[in-house]
Amino acid sequence: MHVASKWGNQGVAERLITAGAELDCRTRDGLTPLHCAARSGHDTVVQLLLSAGAHISAKTRVRFKIIFNGVFMQFVF
């Protein structure tokens, strides 16, 4: 899910969601797929994950919220 989110592959993300993939799984740094999509500027995947129930309030290991990832990377949705 993280790779599909990072690269904006909506089709793969949709298939993973349909197959029951965990929406809020984390990397070692605490990134969720939603963090990855937001920091990469993939708004369609961000919307898909939110619609599927991903937690928008998730924080990374260093306490960054998802909105900070998008703003930090200069993407505003």
pLDDT in tens, 29-58: 889 999 899 888 899 999 999 999 999 888
DSSP assignment of the chain equals -HHHHHHT-HHHHHHHHHTT--TT---TT---HHHHHHHHT-HHHHHHHHHHT--TT-B-TT--BHHHHHHHTT---
Q: Which residue has the higher pLDDT, 34 or 72?
A: 34
Q: Which residue has the higher pLDDT, 49 or 71?
A: 49
Q: What is the pTM of this model?
A: 0.81
Q: Does the structure show a pLDDT above 50 at 6? A: yes
Domains in the chain, CATH or no CATH each = 2-72 (1.25.40.20)
Residue 68 is predicted with a pLDDT of 55
Q: Does the structure show a pLDDT above 80 at 3? A: yes
